[in-house]
Amino acid sequence: MSKVLSVVLAMGVGAVLAAPGNVFADGKATFGAKKCGSCHSTDAAKASDKAPNLSYAGSKYQAAWLEAWLAKPTPVRQVKWGTLTKGTTSHDALSAGEAKEVAAYLATLTDAKVAKGAVPAGEAKGAAKVQGKLLFEKKQGCYGCHLVKGSGGKVTGGFTGPSLAEAGARLQADWIVAYLKDPNHFFPETMSPNYSKRFNDNEMKTIAQYMMSFK
């Protein structure tokens, strides 16, 4: 009896996973079929020397950005991954349908270290924006390694870190705070210094909100 029940249950689960409306299941299959895993690791404990670790992609990236980017990828970094060589790494584009599926799958890959709702939604305005700018540009010179959009929309800054020129459309503010607190948890091989004791909690939240204005 229990065997029959198991089989029925298994068929039920299979049916749900295979249902056309389940973009998460389709996305995982597409991720495999497109061999995304040959460059990207989805295992938090296993870094790849070819591309960003995606084990926390659902906590790091904004879902709408992921879907749009996968359909029309443009380089986020201006050096080849893991090197100091100027240049970009090309990335295959997915069809609109595949991009939607894979983005839905990646959205399920979250990290418990990212405290949901730590940073109020929206971008910094008024005095908070001024304070964010001071922290980002003066207290620390983040643009030494990251591209940012200056006055008149001119993009300037360093190349070795990911471009932050459009970080407000790409990153989740809660992730920025979690990353500043414990960068090694997310990216042990980073070339960026650790700022965990250089900004306090409120400053990290202000920076994250300020960065949400980068679009």
Partner 1 sequence: MKKIAVTAAAVFAVALLGMNIDTASAKDAKANYDHYCAQCHGTSGKGDGVNNTKDLPVSPRNHTDANEMKKLTDADVYNAIKDGGAATSKSTLMPPFGETLSDAELKDMVKHIRKLCGC
Residues forming contacts to partner 1 in the complex (CB under 8 A) are 79, 84-86, 138-141, 143-145, 156-160, 191, 193-198
From residue 152, how far is each of 74, 90, 129, 155, 207 by CA, in Å?
22, 28, 17, 9, 21
The least CB distance from residue 204 to partner 1, in Å, is 14
The smaller minimum CB distance to partner 1, of residues 62 and 163, is found at 163
Q: Using the structure block, give the residue that is written with the tokens 């990207």.
A: 40
The smaller minimum CB distance to partner 1, of residues 37 and 82, is found at 82
The least CB distance from residue 32 to partner 1, in Å, is 33
The least CB distance from residue 84 to partner 1, in Å, is 5
Cβ contacts of 139 within 8 Å, gap of 6 or more = 198, 199, 203
- CA dist 137 and 145 (Å) reads 12
Task: At 196, list the tokens.
Answer: 């965990």
The least CB distance from residue 49 to partner 1, in Å, is 13
- Cross-strand partners of 149: 155
The smaller minimum CB distance to partner 1, of residues 28 and 146, is found at 146
The smaller minimum CB distance to partner 1, of residues 95 and 194, is found at 194
- CA dist 52 and 143 (Å) reads 21
